[in-house]
Structure 1
Amino acid sequence: MKKNKTILSAGIRSQQDVVLVRQRARQVAQALGFSVQEQTRIATAVSEIARNAFEYGGGGRAEFLLDEQPPATLLVRVSDRGPGIAELDAVLEGRPSTSNGLGLGIVGARRLMDRFEITTDSKTGTVVLMGKVLPRQNGLVAEGIEKIAEKIARDLPRDPFSEIQQQNRELLSTLEELRERQAELLELNLELEDTNRGVVALYTELNEKADSLARANELKTAFLSNMSHEFRTPLNAILSLSALLLDRVDGDLTPEQHKQVSFIQQSAQGLSDLVNDLLDMAKVEAGKVSVHPSEFQVESLFGALRGMLKPLLAPNSAINLVFEELPGLPVLYTDEGKVSQILRNFISNALKFTEQGEVRVTARPGPAASATVVFSVADTGIGILFEDQERIFEEYTQIDSPLQQRTKGTGLGLPLSRQLAQLLKGRVWVGSSPGRGSTFYLEIPVCYDSERDLAAADCDCNPAGPFVLAIEDNLETLLLYQKYLLGTSYSLHPAPTLKEAQRVLDNARPAVVLLDVLLGDENTWGFLKQIKEDEATRTIPVLVATVVDNHQKAVALGADGFCVKPIEREWLLQMLRTFSHESG
């Protein structure tokens, strides 16, 4: 490990030395490129600890160092040979309750610095190590430290009166800045109050309208459900009686009677289809449709569809219905009935609007990182204009065309298919050109249940092969990480608690640790520090991923990488490549 570079040091034997140390702290901070505010914070923290060393430790020494290990950090070590701090834990918890006031200023100094460590002993005294990470834009190199030290050493310290004047100026500047901020806050509060009143009024109006829409939607759903059931009985009777007449059970029909009864049957069948679609839509909108996932093969699904839809083709039809499944398709775990219903809607529409050619049904794996399967139904029919391709998914919408006049529909099949796909956590869309046919797509997850997905990703406390330990309690985020690692040599091991994470680290060595710092009530910052201080785990790369931008603190505690959520897949894979290369 590279040794820290000494900038300068100063003894603490009198009150004047305390003032001198404060001056030196400000000079060093200024030379290292810290802002005026940071210079004041560093000088204040150092003077508080130096004063404690003089008053309670009988004097000591202050050393200013530069830690060149990334991130470069200014270190200040204040040591004394005093009796030590007997109630250190109480002091660090913010309860300096000793009778003589020992430790006064420690809590404040600790808050002003990025790093703060104390070692104390009744025989050897007390050593306080404080650190402040250098500004990112600082271009300091090791060769410049000697020059900085020489320059500061040449600068004569000011007398205590001048230092007090400087402190007063800093206080006045701080007070003026606080006054300006207070004025800005008052003005902002007034604006926020006006805005809040407007927002409250708007929310009240929106809530009223939302309640009104919810009631109207409930009434519509109830009406559709009730009327659908009421319509079914007479429609079934008309269809049954029409079939009896066409089958000539009660005698022959004249050609004209046969034609008229056929029209009656076709109209009743169209109305029956409309009623069935309305009932399905009402169920979906009312939330009464549940998903019943089960495992099945695409091959068996296509076999059932082939048997159901073959009767729709006339014996002398000029249309070929082709089912094609690509190799490498996984076993699906989703609602087979609803997938079949969506594909039936697609295929029946394709057959209606295709006069000759073929309707090809295909299944293929989705994008590599998505763990989905994509179904497509392509036809050689009349096609759809670009401006109409979104309209066809609206309820009761039908596009005017010569074929549309001959093949009446309800206009509910495609909207229902979209709702069913969303219920399965998937999506539908269309690609089409007039005169060149259309292709309807359905993309759904291979596994419907996300918790089942995560269970498959889980493993025991001694995983085999390279793996990423994700210390994360959010299921959606864990699922995202799992998808990111698909196609790589790494597996994911989720750890929702620090206890589980420690159990894994005790038994295996992850390639990378992904750490979320907002993990319930647990102290993940302390856990990061523990990993980096333990000889057995300190070399494991730790990537901090959180919604809070606290890059400096993460790096100061030893994190090897930092990212504000959401994590991008390329960033994670790049970090894995970097650390695997370094370890190789």
Structure 2
Amino acid sequence: MNLTILTLEIRYEQDVVLTRQKARKIAELLGFDSQIQVRIATAVSEIARNTFQYAGRGIVEFKVEGEAPQNLVVGINDNGPGIPNLKTILEGRYTSTSGMGWGIINTQKLVDQFQIESVVGQGTKVLISKKLPKKAPNLTNQRLEQIKQELDERSPQNPFEEIQRQNQELLQAMAELRKREEELMHLNRELEDTNRGVVALYAELDEKADSLQKANELKTRFFSNMSHEFRTPLNSVISLSRILLARMDGPLTAEQEKQVTFIQKAAGGLLELINDLLDMAKVEAGKTTVHPSDFEVSDLFGALRGMLRPLLAYNSSVALIFDEAVDLPTLHTDEGKVAQILRNFISNALKYTQQGEVRVKATVNDRIITFSVADTGIGIAPSDRERIFEDFVQIESELQKRVKGTGLGLPLSKKLAQLLGGDVSFQSELGQGSTFFATIPFVYPGYTPATALPLPTWQIDPERYPVLVVEDNDETLLIYEKYLQAANYQTLAAKTVNEAKQALQRFRPVAIILDILLQKQHTWSFLSEIKRNEATRNIPVLVITVIDNEKQVLASGADEFLIKPVDRLLLLAKLDTLVKQEKLQKLLLIDDDLASRYVLKQLLNNTSLDILEAANGTEGLRLAETEKPQAIVLDLNMPGRDGIEVLKQLKHNPITSAIPVIINTSKPLEPEEQNYLAKNSVAILAKQTSSQADASNQLRQALVRAGLILNHN
């Protein structure tokens, strides 16, 4: 629709006043409010004044266009000289002492749409538009005639009346501005009051946050300290229960065995809770240290398979399946923490699966490895899926009475995965089963590759026993070095017979490890030469080779024989036997807990060790200096002198500084303590272990590392 309301010609200055009057009246008749009327009238009069001033004459046309919504459109055209710098004016960059350009700029701000075209020498066309109010009815031909009639009936005002009208509009506008100013002042006061309230609220929140932080630190400190106090008696209860169940001191009746089993299970459950609490507290406090190392997924799966096999004894209708780890890269992250995450996933799956299978597998994608543990268990209801990673939450189910737990396994797994740069997630369907995922980078993000160290040179460490290893395979040399580095032996490598002969001229090893084949060269003649030479004949020789010819090796003069690949514990035991065959071996136990010392003696009751006991640090230092034991097992938490202080005095005393020390404690270690103990002891053992066999095996390995020979009685 296009309806023309009025057309005016501008020839004289009073026509500009008339244009303003008509514009305001038309706006009023079309339903605009008074404020918009003034805006429209001002915009039209500004353009009309420019037309008269710069072109001398022009045409103003008022129209209504469109259907819904309709728009008031005012066109103002002239045939004047045009505007040569229109672009500069529209961009606001034109400056004029006469005010030229300001009318155009200000008019744009007063209307909805503004269009201008100007050709130099031909004239200018301006089109301004304002949308009709929503409440106004659509303009029809009938209404158009009424508007025209009202415009014709109204006599034009003289300029003085128009000036008076404009003054009234200005006064009204000033009153409106004053009202707005008062409203703004009131709003500012409200904002100031609100700001003061917000500042007070933030101060209160900061105070609460500080209180929560202090409470969290107290909680962490409590768990760290009290966990050790709880662990010590619990470890004693568990260890003594194992001794009773192993019938080391005589038989048990069926009822006694049942009672001791209940005691052991209760203590084990409480110890599990304490361990989880301590792990959570350390992660939350940022005190958990990541120890990245290279490991294979296949080895990890093998260890988990053996570790979790006892859980299957309670439910023979569930199969634990590890998919073969094929074409997976070597991981460099914290193997212990990855194992802990998967152990939690698998143990949960076994607990909540009555029949079917629990399947463990690993997949790779873009330097990320995803471990998944899928079960055919009871599943997780949608309402519980947001809660399972909350601390101490255990989902209610028909199996809950049978399955006991701490409710910390999944939250701890999530925090550990995030610590390694990954995360955990899951999928579950009620009654069908669940799958938990742990997504972890191949390489721990905080890992910085260390500079490769050269192979050991022939520079003798006076505090270690030198062992000459005649072997040309770099991997085998590295294995031997790792096997011997935790003991008192120093690995000195020779890859050829000539190098071995040069080494024997420069130092006297306590033993020789010899391979029969070196770079397609047999070492039989070298073995015979060692045993014929008066200077080397008393050096024990241990031959380790892939050829099973023990009789020929021993006949050629070798003292012992092993076939590749060799077990670390067996290798250390052979070396110890060769190096210290007739030496009386004393072991000193320094621990204030009588039960802990009793458990250690029971673990070693079938060895030939002479065991000495000290109930405190002072007595332990005295016995270490007078008896000069071959090794010391030291607890850390003791009254008076604690274990750290005792260890320092042992190392500072020339008489005891060379005695190997094994740390046996239930105390959670801080990183600084861990580093110090790792440098000044041959092993760090935890008093809490999963089984009697594990405890015995770990202790024996530590003693072999310390150089003791564990012959059985």
| TM, length-normalised to structure 2 | 0.44
Letter in structure 2 aligned against 1:216: A
Task: Provide the residue aligned with 2:407 in structure 1.
Answer: 411
Q: 1:59 to 1:378 in 2, by over 3 A?
A: farther
* Residue of structure 2 in register with 1:159 after alignment: 157
Relative distance call for 1:426 and 1:148 in structure 2 (3 A) is farther
Residue of structure 2 equivalent to 1:80:
78
Taking the aligned partners of 2:289 and 2:110, their CA distance within structure 1 comes to: 56
- 1:108/1:389 CA distance change after superposition, 3 Å: closer
Per-residue deviation, 1:13:
1.5
**In the aligned structure 2, how far is the partner of 1:82 from the partner of 1:36?**
33
Aligned-partner Cα distance in 1 for 2:438–2:149: 68
Kept in 1: contact 2:349–2:358 (CA 8 A): no
- SS of 2:15 mapped into structure 1: helix
Partner of 1:501: none
Distance 1:443 1:172 in 2: 74
Alpha-carbon contact 1:5-1:67 (below 8 Å) kept: yes
2:53 maps to 1:55:
yes
2:109 is matched with which residue?
A: 111
Distance 1:431 1:10, change over 3 A: same
Instruction: Say if 1:426 and 1:442, in contact at 8 Å, map to a contact too.
Output: yes
Partners of 2:42 and 2:319 in 1: CA distance:
82
Q: Structure 2 CA distance, aligned partners of 1:147 and 1:53? A: 29
Secondary structure of the corresponding residue to residue 65 of structure 1: strand
The alignment status of 1:273 with 2:272, answered yes or no, reads yes
SS at match of 1:140: coil
Q: Check whether the contact 1:81–1:126 (CA below 8 A) recurs between aligned residues.
A: yes
Aligned mates of 1:38, 1:122 — CA distance in 2: 33
Please tell me whether the aligned partners of residues 90 and 97 of structure 1 are also in contact (alpha carbons under 8 angstroms): no
Superposed displacement of residue 44, structure 1 = 1.1
The answer as to whether partners of 1:84 and 1:125 remain within 8 angstroms in 2 is: yes
Equivalence for 1:469: none
**2:72 corresponds to 1:41:** no
Displacement after TM superposition at 1:62 (Å):
1.7
Q: Is the 8 A contact 2:2 2:65 kept in 1?
A: yes
Contact 2:29 2:147 (C-alpha < 8 Å) held by counterparts: no
Cα deviation, 1:513-568, whole Å, max 9, x if unaligned, reads: xxxxxxxxxxxxxxxxxxxxxxxxxxxxxxxxxxxxxxxxxxxxxxxxxxxxxxxx
Distance 1:132 1:212 in 2: 60
**Distance (Å, rounded) in 1 between the aligned partners of 2:406 and 2:33:** 71
Other-structure match for 2:619: none
The answer to whether 1:28 aligns with 2:26 is yes
Post-superposition shift, 1:315? 6.8
TM-score w.r.t. the length of structure 1 is 0.52
Residues 558-582 of structure 1, C-alpha deviation per residue, up to 9 Å, x if partnerless?
xxxxxxxxxxxxxxxxxxxxxxxxx
The aligned runs of 1:182-261 (5 Å cut-off) are 182-218=181-217, 220-221=219-220, 224=223, 254-255=252-253, 259=258
Correspondence for 2:564: none
Q: Distance in 1 between matches of 2:123 and 2:288?
A: 73
Partners of 1:378 and 1:439 within 8 A in 2 = yes
Deviation at 1:151, TM superposition (A): 4.4
Structure 1 residues 243-302: Cα deviation after superposition (integer angstroms, max 9, x where no partner): 788677x687535675566456534543453345335534664578999xxxxxxxxxx9
Contact 1:20 1:157 survives alignment (8 Å): no
Distance 1:190 1:406, change over 3 A: same
Task: Report percent identity of matched pairs.
Answer: 53
Quickly say closer, same or farther: Cα 1:431–1:82, change in 2 above 3 A.
same
Match of 2:128 among 121, 127, 130: 130
| C-alpha distance 360-134 of structure 1, shift in aligned 2 (>3 A) | farther
- Cα offset for 1:109? 1.3
Is this contact kept in 1: 2:16–2:49, CA < 8 A? yes
Task: Write the distance in 1 (CA, Å) between the matches of 2:125 and 2:257.
Answer: 106
Aligned residues: 405
Q: What is the letter of the counterpart of residue 86 of structure 2?
A: L
Q: Deviations over 1:28-59 (max 9, x none)?
A: 33344333322221111111111111122212
In structure 1, C-alpha distance between the alignment counterparts of 2:45 and 2:373, rounded to whole Å: 71
- Following the alignment from structure 2 to structure 1, what is the Cα–Cα distance between the partners of residues 286 and 149? 76
Cα shift at 1:123: 0.4
Q: Report the CA distance between 1:233 and its aligned residue.
A: 9.9
- Which piece of structure 1 moves more, 175-184 or 37-46? 175-184
Paired with 2:307 and 2:16, the residues of 1 have a C-alpha distance of 92
Q: Secondary structure at the match of 1:83?
A: coil
3-state SS, counterpart of residue 81 of structure 2: coil
| SS, match of residue 9 in structure 2 | strand
What is the DSSP-based 3-state SS (H/G/I as helix, E as strand, rest coil) of the residue aligned with 1:105? helix
Q: 1:65 maps to which residue?
A: 63
The superposition leaves residues 300-343 of structure 1 with CA deviations (integer Å, 9 ceiling, x where unpaired) of xx9x99999776344765x66799xxxxxxxxxxx9x9999889
Instruction: Give the greater-gyration-radius structure (CA).
Output: 2
Q: 2:14 aligns to what?
A: 16
Deviation at 1:107, TM superposition (A): 1.9
Is the contact made by 1:5 and 1:68 (CA closer than 8 Å) also made in structure 2? no
Distance, in Å, in 2 between the alignment partners of 1:216 and 1:171 is 65
Distance 2:130 2:262 in 1: 87
Which amino acid in 2 is paired with 1:410? T
* 2:176 equivalent to 1:180: no
Comparing 13-22 with 406-415, which one deviates more in the overlay?
A: 406-415
CA–CA separation in structure 2 for the residues paired with 1:420 and 1:143: 79
1:131-530 to 2 correspondence within 5 Å?
131-136=129-134, 138-140=136-138, 146-147=144-145, 150-151=148-149, 153-160=151-158, 161-218=160-217, 220-221=219-220, 224=223, 254-255=252-253, 259=258, 262-263=261-262, 265-267=264-266, 269-282=268-281, 285-286=284-285, 312-314=311-313, 317=316, 348-349=347-348, 352=351, 395-396=391-392, 407-413=403-409, 415-416=411-412
Code of the aligned partner of 1:176: A
Q: Report if aligned partners of 1:85, 1:102 keep a CA contact under 8 Å in 2.
A: no
Q: CA deviation at 1:442?
A: 7.6
The 1:174–1:305 alpha-carbon spacing in structure 2 relative to 1, beyond 3 Å, is farther
Structure 2 stretches of 5 or more lacking a match?
291-300, 322-332, 360-371, 440-713
CA deviation string 1:184-243 (max 9, x = no partner): 332333333233223222221221221332343345446656877998899889878977
In the aligned structure 1, how far is the partner of 2:343 from the partner of 2:217? Answer: 29
CA RMSD of aligned residues (A): 5.6
Structure 1 residue matching 2:102: 3-state secondary structure: coil
* Aligned CA distance change for structure 1 residues 406 and 100 (closer, same or farther; 3 Å): closer
